[in-house]
Every structure is written in C-alpha cells, then in structure tokens.
Amino acid sequence: MSDLRKVSSSPHIRDKATSSNIMRDVVIALLPAAIFGVFHFGVNALVVLLVTIATSVATEYIYEKYMHKPVTIGDYSAVVTGLLLGMNLPSSAPWWMAMLGSIFAVLVVKQLFGGLGQNFMNPALGGRCFLMISFAGRMTNYAYDTFTGATPLAVIREGGSIDMFQMVMGNTAGMIGETSAIAILVGAAYLLWRGVIDLKIPGTYIVTFAVFMLLFGGHGFDGTYLVAQLAGGGLMLGAWFMATDYVTSPITPKGQIVYGVILGLLTGIFRCFGPSPEGVSYAIIFSNLLVPLIERFTIPLAFGKVKEKGGN
C-alpha cells in the first residue's frame, strides 16, 4: 500500500461552467449599453466607467491583500460591480465621486459582509444610493454636450411630451448606461441565451410594474405613457441586470416570482407617489433585504411530497 490513490466523494466529474465564466458573460452583456452610453454622452462617460471599474477592482485587491485573504479579482465580480455602478452614474459625475461610490460598493457593501456571495444588497446599487443621498445635486445633473434637459420621466411627470423613438433608442438624458432600452435588451437577450438568467424575476417585475402603472399611473390605457415608463429611468437596466443579481435575489423558484412582484409594486409606488420620478434603485435594495424572508416562505415541496395541512 505504498502508493495510495486519490479518493473523493462522488460525483467525480464536473461541468465546465465556472463562476468567472458567468461573470464574464454579464460583463459582455453589459457592453452594448455601456458602449452606447459612451457614444451618446461622450468621453466623460468613458472616464466615469473606467474610474469605477479600476477603483472597484483595486479596492477588492487591496482589501483582500491587507486581510490576507485569497485575491479574487480574477472572478470578474468586481469588474461587474464597477461597470454597473458606472452605468448608474451621470456622465457629469466628477472622478472623485465615481471613486467614492466604488469604494463604498466594494468595501462596505461587499467585502465587509464577507465578500462574494455574502453581500445582502447589490453592491453597485448600494454605491449608487450612497451617492444619491450624499450628492443629490450632482447625481441628478444630466447635462451633456450642449443639452441640459430633464430626464424623460421628469418631463412626463411635469405633463410634457417626449419623442418615443428617441426614448427607446436612448437619445435622452439619464444615467450613462440606462437610457437605451434597445441596447439593454440586446444584452439581456444574450444572458437569456447563455442561460445566465431566466425570465422569472425580470418577467414578473416588468409585468407587475406595467399592470400597476396602468391601474394607478393616472393615464389609463395610454400606450405611450406605458412605454415611456418601461423604457425610461433605470427600469430596464434594473430589471435585467440588477434584480437578477444572483447573490441578492431568492434562490427558490417561487421566491423569485414573489420577488419580481414585490419589485414591480415597489417601483410603481415609488414612481407614482414618491418625491422622485425614479424608483428602481430603492425598490431593488429594499427588496434585497426581504430575500431571506421570501425564501423562508417559499421552500419548495420535494419531489413526491404532498402538501400537508398547515405545514409546508
């Protein structure tokens, strides 16, 4: 028995998919919207994106080095956080603000809670809301080129009208990565095709929100208004890329549907009755906090089990 062979518990083979591949797919899927943002808003947008990505990765690297933990920047998760945060900032954001938001996202929201897989809230959105609260004026300064207009949602709120085609294409004011519904949908289609996400969360989210707006939006069955609400603000980016964040959404299939419905309701409430025309970010981070509760009430019945009275 001089040379013992290697043993391990079954199974002895593994699928090719890795966490890094999945994160890389998310980066690829975000690129259409990000590239559109850079073309639309100009070089300043590119600077913001580069600063958030670089700062996020650097923060993760420095923290993990300093804490003597394995360095995990190779898994692309910090890149995703940085890119998403950048896409959630206006192109007019100064570099120090982009940097501050990234440090908050990676250090406070992600690493201090245990790193990848342990954060209770979407880091990019945590960073965005942190900046929103701290620098409200700068965060809503959508000025670009010579144009200093309000966002389409703000225009509608004030009773104005907007050009529907320009809006869906993304030629409007807004955050860097959220204006073009078309570009976001191209990325979402890629994620669906790759099997990275499915329709449960974004589907129920968007449908619930649409129904809510038809009922309570105050415009009745106005198609233009509905499309404007769907394509405007952060809804598309939020529904396809941030509500679907694995770590901060429920893992139970039924829970994902409940989560989507709650997101749709909250977004509708915030947009209709809140002080700001925007509501997606707060709806998502608020729902993130409900995830453990949602999971507790949606434990699936195992194969071959029948529902017992009063139990689960």
Partner 1 sequence: MATLTFKGGVHPYDGKELSKDKAIVPYEPKGNLIYPVSQHIGAPAAPVVAKGDRVLVGQKIAEAGGFVSSPVYASVSGTVKAIEPHFVSTGAKVNSIVVENDGLYEEAPGLPIKPFEEMSRDDIIGIIKESGVVGMGGAGFPTHVKLSPKDPDKIDYVLVNCAECEPYLTSDYRLMVERPEKVVGGLKVVLELFGSAQGCICIEDNKPEAIKIMQKACENETRIQVKVLKTKYPQGAERMLIHAVTGRDLNSTMLPADLGCVVDNCDTITSIYDAVILGKPLISRVVTISGEAVANPSNFECRMGTNVAELIEAAGGFKTEAKKVISGGPMMGFAMFDLEVPTTKTTSAITCLAADAVSESPTTACINCGRCVAACDEGLIPARLAQFSEKFDLEAFQKWHGMECVECGCCSYVCPAKRPLAQMIKNVRRMVMANRKK
Query: Whole-number minimum distance, CB 266 to partner 1, in Å?
Result: 21
Window 128 to 147, contacts with partner 1 (CB under 8 A) = none
Nearer Cβ to partner 1 (11/137)? 11
Q: Classify burial at 24, counting beta carbons within 10 Å of its beta carbon; exposed 0-12, middle 13-18, buried 19 or more.
A: middle
CA distance 258 to 252: 10
Nearer Cβ to partner 1 (6/146)? 6
CA distance 48 to 61: 20
- Asked if the bond preceding 123 is cis, omega within 30° of 0, the reply is no
Max CA separation in the chain (angstroms) = 84
Nearer Cβ to partner 1 (54/116)? 116
Question: 230-269 mask for partner 1 (x: CB under 8 A)?
Answer: ----------------xx-x-xxx----------------
Q: Are 113 and 127 in contact (CB under 8 A)?
A: no
Instruction: Using CA atoms of 297, 299, 305, 308 in order, give the dihedral in degrees to the nearest 10.
Output: -20
Indicate whether 116 belongs to the interface with partner 1 (CB under 8 A): yes
Question: 148-187 mask for partner 1 (x: CB under 8 A)?
Answer: ----------------------------------------
Only segment of 69-77, 141-149, 219-227, 235-243 that touches partner 1 (CB under 8 A): 69-77
Amino acid at 190: Y
Indicate whether 295 belongs to the interface with partner 1 (CB under 8 A): yes
Query: Whole-number minimum distance, CB 30 to partner 1, in Å?
Result: 17
Nearer Cβ to partner 1 (91/249)? 249
Alpha-carbon distance values, 61 to 10, 20, 113, 115, 201 (Å): 34, 16, 16, 12, 32
Three-class secondary structure of residue 260 per DSSP: helix
Exactly one of 223, 304, 307, 310 binds partner 1 (CB under 8 A); which one?
304
Query: Whole-number minimum distance, CB 19 to partner 1, in Å?
Result: 5
Query: Whole-number minimum distance, CB 1 to partner 1, in Å?
Result: 6
Helices (DSSP H) in 88-135: which residue ranges? 95-103, 123-134
Nearer Cβ to partner 1 (3/158)? 3
User: What token pair was written down for 161?
Assistant: 């009208």
Question: 9-48 mask for partner 1 (x: CB under 8 A)?
Answer: xxxxxxx-xxx-xx--------------------------
| Sequence-separated (6 or more) residues with CB below 8 Å from residue 151 | 142, 172, 173, 174, 232, 233, 277, 278
Interface contacts to partner 1, rule CB under 8 A: 1, 4-15, 17-19, 21-22, 72, 75, 77, 115-118, 246-247, 249, 251-253, 295, 299-305, 312
